[in-house]
Amino acid sequence: MESRERIGLYGNGEIPRSARLMGRSVGPKSNGVRDLGSIPPIRKVRPRPAVKTVAAAAAAPLVAVLLVVTAVVLATSSAPVLEGGVQAPAPPYSLLGFTFDNSGAFLPDATCTITNLRTMEVINALSDSMFGLILSATTSNYPDLANEFPSGILDGDIIKIDAEKAGWTGTNQTTLANVDTTSSVWMNVTLSTPPIPEFGDVALPIVGMVGMFLVMAVATRSKKE
C-alpha cells in the first residue's frame, strides 16, 4: 500500500490498462470500449427527389446520342457497296435549298422548276409557306434528283432551278460531282423584281414618235398649200 492509500496491481498505484478501458464513464471525451454501443447506426443515404430528377435529365441526352449513333451505324452497314469497295449513298440524292428575296429574307410560295440540262427532264417544286424551303410538288419532300428525274443523274450533269413569284424571278445552277458517294446538294435561289426603266429610256422614244408625227403633219400641210 502506498502512502496515499492507493492500492495498485503493480505496487505503484497504477491500474491495468484493460481495467481502465472497461471502467471509464461514457462521455464526449470517452474512448472506452463501452462507448461503441452508444454510437448510432450508419443509415443509408438515399438521393432526394430533386437529385433523382437532375440525374435523369443529365442521362437523357447521353441515351439519345447513343441511340442516334447506333442508328447511323446500322444504316451505314446496310447500305449497298459499289464496285471497288465504294459505298453507295443512302437514297435519295436530295436537293436542299431555299428561296430568298433580294434582301436575304425568306420568300415562300415560289414556283420552282428544276431542270437537268443534259436530259432536259424537269422536276416541279414549290418553296414552302413558312421558310421558303424548296420541296418537290410530287412528294412534298426534298426533291429527289436520283429518282424523280426519269433518266437519273450522272457526274457532270448541270442542274438548273428557275423560280418565280408574282413578278419576282430568279435562277441558279450547279454541276453535280461524286453522285455515287454524295447524298445531297445545296442550291438556293434569290428572286428579285424586274428593273424599272429610267425616265429617259421611256421618254426618248415617245418624244421621237411625237416629233415624227409633227414633221409629217407640217409636210402634208405645206404640200396642200
Distances (CA, A) of 83 to 77, 80, 192, 214: 16, 10, 46, 79
**d(C-alpha 117, C-alpha 125), whole Å:** 17
Question: pTM score, two decimals?
Answer: 0.50
Query: Which amino acid is it at 199?
Result: F
pLDDT band at 99 (very low <50, low <70, confident <90, very high): very high
User: What helix, strand, coil percent values describe the chain, rounded to 5?
Assistant: 35, 20, 45
Which residues, other chains included, contact 214 with Cβ-Cβ below 8 Å and sequence gap of 6+?
Answer: none
Q: Please report the pLDDT score of residue 143 as a whole number.
A: 95
pLDDT band at 181 (very low <50, low <70, confident <90, very high): confident
The distance in angstroms from the start CA to the end CA of the chain is: 175
Q: Please report the pLDDT score of residue 32 as a whole number.
A: 53
Residues 155-175: b if buried by 16+ CB within 10 A, e if exposed: eebebebbbbbeebebeeeee
Q: Please report the pLDDT score of residue 92 as a whole number.
A: 82
Range list of H helices, the chain: 17-23, 49-78, 145-148, 199-224
**Does the domain at residues 94-190 carry the CATH identifier 1.20.1260.10?**
no
Three-state DSSP at 155 gives coil
